Structure 1
Amino acid sequence: MKYIIFLFALFVGSNLFSQNQQNQQNTAQRILSGNINTKGVTVGGYGEITYNRPSGKNAELDVQRLVLLFGYKFDDRTQFVTEIEFEHVKEVYVEQAFLQYSLNDQVNLRAGLMLVPMGIINEYHEPTTFNGVERPSMDVAIVPTTWREIGIGVAGKSAAASLRYQLYVFNGFQSTLSDENGTIISGQLGGSSGLRGGRQKGIKSNFNNINFSGKLDYYGLPGLRLGLSGYFGRTQSPKDVEAVAGADIGISMIGLDARYAKQRFSVRGQFVRGALSDTESYNLATGKDLGSILQGYYLETGYNLLALQKKQQLIGFVRYEDYNTHASTAGNLVENDTYNRQEWTFGLSYLIANGAVVKADYQLKDNAANKQTNQLNFGIGVWF
């Protein structure tokens, strides 16, 4: 029933809040369109520095991420996009690295390391594009952001239908590791963080099962941006154990998302459900507690406290999240109430310039086991 209420709220929101958002871009889109008339290199970047203080603990200060963006246009049809990310100062990753070849204005072929199009934040995670110091928790636990894998596919748009589309074939999550004797020694997936530990990120990625991913975005009505995402396939396992029961699992994931704004008001929401098969065998083989259904949603609304004619914006917002990585379990695994989580986030986003933001928020985190934690967050973010 609560998910029906959530979807109804999104429908009502589409009639209350509207602003033309079909031109909103993420990093890759900005690079691909930014050098449309210029052959050569495009450079950019984004970054976040955060302060987090959970109740009863010391505060943590962190250069959470610094990302360098590079694009190169070889000719009118061929472009390359890459993001090099430094996390927590010392960890270095390649977040995206793909080649795009444009057949025409509607059809673009892509191959390389790409973001899996699921929900909002996984594609639009630059710090000036979302409210809150931290990304929504359900995106971290269920989607899981930032989710990228190596693949090939096609992306483009139909102006007549007001649709953007993406369709890819990817490798997938790594579910198990094995030793030299061909024995499963550990599982990468688990109850609290779901599929997150299985992201391969393009690092010598194991590949023995094909996965399919797609998304449709509708922008035909003024201010309305609706997304429908899907991901289907199986996880990856080492060759010497891939025939063992529980070495890999099946995944079917769908996502619905919506964004709207009108003048000083804004609203966004998201729902994601992942159905996993063969989790009973996986848990027996690895000793893990992976759920068979991962599910969650959030709804957020904001209001710009400054006058519209001001270049700066001061957005007060509130977000409610409800997500459960043990929405259902298979076999004898008992659902863990601490994985059934609810969060309220109240905060401010002060956009001091186009591409620069200062953030502050307070979070109330609870779960079905009534274990509550509060957290104070501050942060600065840039994107250029």
Structure 2
Amino acid sequence: MKKHYVLFLAVGFTGSFFSQQKIDSITYLKLKNEIKTEILAEQLIADQPLTQKFENFLNKNRLEIKGYGVVNYYNYGKFDTDPEIKDKIDLERLNLYLGYQYNDRLSFKAEIEIEHGGAGVSKELDNQEEFGEIETEISKGGEVKLEQLNVNYQFSEAFNIRFGRLKVYLNSAQNLDSPTSYFTTHRQEMESAFLPNGWYENGIQIHGIINKKIRYYASVTTGLDASGFSSRRWIKDGHQQKFEMQNAESFAYSARVDYLFGTNKNTFAGIGSYFGNTTPNRPKNDLKDDAFVNILTGHVNYFENNVRFSGVVLWGNLQNSDLISKANTNLPNTLGAKRTPVGKNALGYSAEVGYEVLHLMLANNHQQLYPFVRYDFYDTMYAVAGDVVKKDRWNRKVFTAGLNYFLHPQIVIKAQYSTRTLGSENIDPVTVLPTGQNQKENTFSLGMAFTL
């Protein structure tokens, strides 16, 4: 009996041994096939072109790349404020946008702007405020700027939160910023005269569209720096860009509401406002008094069928502008501030209209030709305070007429002639006597612009 028991155990052990060997063999083959599959997949990825690898890394359906560029030529005619001005060619800007939609609610946006041909150190001959002084301009990163860097979370179409470096939506110029959405060779003159170009700040913004008709923006952002204010540009150069980091001692508050009443995204009418104290953000504590700036704007745009119209009104008030003027005269030369008297109130309004005419001559034509006219009025010293003397030369009226020829909906050739009349009286350069006529600045310009 004992022998039979031992034999049974031996047979059982042998069967178990060979069964285990069979299982191990199957596991080994399975593991070997998995490793082989992974090696082949890695080799396939390695053999892919770089573009294919990039598409695998980022879902191309969620990635968005856009941009636009502008190149202009300026030919100066009668230019009373600077008779020796030279004609110029300007690689005005190249803007590139990168966006990524992480999911249905969360998205990212960045914008890089390259101005006037690239980065570096530039010199400017200022015959307007510095009496022919040559200024050396050095901005952070040269003239390559990170304009936007923000994340947006969409709770619904009516309510979104955006935070990071973002665009301040005050008037319609922030929407009509691509060169195919305005007629002139350069940015809208009146708005660009005394507001920051583009106007990007660090902060948080809520925005949305209610019932497909009401669009709103409300923002809390870094404020302006009063040390940059001047006669010619009012608050424009108070935009904090001189230093590596922006002072955040005082924030600014802005809001805008639009009514969308057409089929084109650029058909809307609205109002906007901006409010903030500009004293605390000065580089040094050299002014104890508050300097609140308040801006109100109204705008209407109509881009329907073959008609394009845009109109804007801007009014601004600066508290204690006389005290700012006095404090700015003591700023160091190295700061690069103008140190000229600052106006209490600024006022501007503009309107442009164009009509597409090729459809009247050619049927089934995909190109477009817009003759247009534009009028600008702006005065950055519309009213002054205290001992500040009002300067009439900053009262400017501009009439512009020209053509926009669209070779393609995204490529436009522009030509225009503008005449600017200043409030100041012209002085004869020979007799040094008043001529009885206002100063004039006449310019013919050609431009090419595109969007991506």
Aligned partner of 1:230 among 273, 280, 305: 273
User: What is the TM-score with the length of structure 1 in the denominator?
Assistant: 0.83
| 1:345 and 2:386 are equivalent in the alignment | no
| 1:380 and 2:408 are equivalent in the alignment | no
SS of corresponding position for 2:172: coil
| 1:122 and 2:174 are equivalent in the alignment | yes
Give per-residue Cα distances to partners, 1:190-211, cap 9 Å, x unaligned: 0101111111259511111121
Tell whether the 8 Å contact from 2:279 to 2:287 is kept in structure 1 after alignment.
no
Q: How does 1:1-384 map to 2 (within 5 A)?
A: 40-55=62-77, 57-90=85-118, 91-159=143-211, 162-175=213-226, 187-201=227-241, 203-220=244-261, 224-235=267-278, 237=280, 241-242=284-285, 244-245=287-288, 249-287=291-329, 288-307=340-359, 309-369=364-424, 370-384=438-452
SS of corresponding position for 1:53: strand
Identical positions, percent: 28
SS of corresponding position for 1:284: helix
Aligned to 1:30: none
Tell whether the 8 Å contact from 1:251 to 1:276 is kept in structure 2 after alignment.
yes
Q: Which has the higher contact order (CA 8 A, sep 6+)?
A: 1
Displacement of 1:87 in angstroms is 0.4
User: What is the TM-score with the length of structure 2 in the denominator?
Assistant: 0.71
Give per-residue Cα distances to partners, 1:163-222, cap 9 Å, x unaligned: 0011010111122xxxxxxxxxxx311010111111125951111112101111101366
Instruction: Give the direction of change, closer, same or farther, for the CA distance of 1:304–1:279 in structure 2 (3 Å limit).
Output: same
Displacement of 1:363 in angstroms is 0.6
Query: Which amino acid counterpart does residue 189 of structure 2 have in structure 1?
Result: S
SS of corresponding position for 1:255: strand
**What is the rounded CA distance, in whole Å, between the counterparts of 1:328 and 1:277 in structure 2?**
12
SS of corresponding position for 1:103: strand
Tell whether the 8 Å contact from 1:142 to 1:272 is kept in structure 2 after alignment.
no
Give per-residue Cα distances to partners, 1:59-87, cap 9 Å, x unaligned: 21121101111001111111011110110
Tell whether the 8 Å contact from 1:163 to 1:220 is kept in structure 2 after alignment.
no
Query: Which amino acid counterpart does residue 230 of structure 1 have in structure 2?
Result: S
Tell whether the 8 Å contact from 1:142 to 1:295 is kept in structure 2 after alignment.
no
Displacement of 1:318 in angstroms is 0.4
SS of corresponding position for 1:311: coil
Tell whether the 8 Å contact from 1:79 to 1:99 is kept in structure 2 after alignment.
yes
More divergent stretch after superposition (262-271 vs 166-175): 262-271
**What is the rounded CA distance, in whole Å, between the counterparts of 1:240 and 1:254 in structure 2?**
27
Displacement of 1:240 in angstroms is 7.7
Query: Which amino acid counterpart does residue 73 of structure 2 have in structure 1?
Result: Y
SS of corresponding position for 2:174: coil
Aligned length in residues: 335
Structure 2 residue runs without a partner (length 5+): 1-58, 78-82, 119-142, 330-339, 425-437
**What is the rounded CA distance, in whole Å, between the counterparts of 2:230 and 2:318 in structure 1?**
12
SS of corresponding position for 1:302: strand
More divergent stretch after superposition (233-242 vs 281-290): 233-242
Relative to its length, the structure with more helix (as a share) is 2
SS of corresponding position for 1:372: strand
Q: CA RMSD in A?
A: 2.0
Q: Which runs of 4+ in 1 moved over 3 A?
A: 37-40, 220-224, 236-243
**What is the rounded CA distance, in whole Å, between the counterparts of 1:363 and 1:311 in structure 2?**
29
Tell whether the 8 Å contact from 1:100 to 1:110 is kept in structure 2 after alignment.
yes
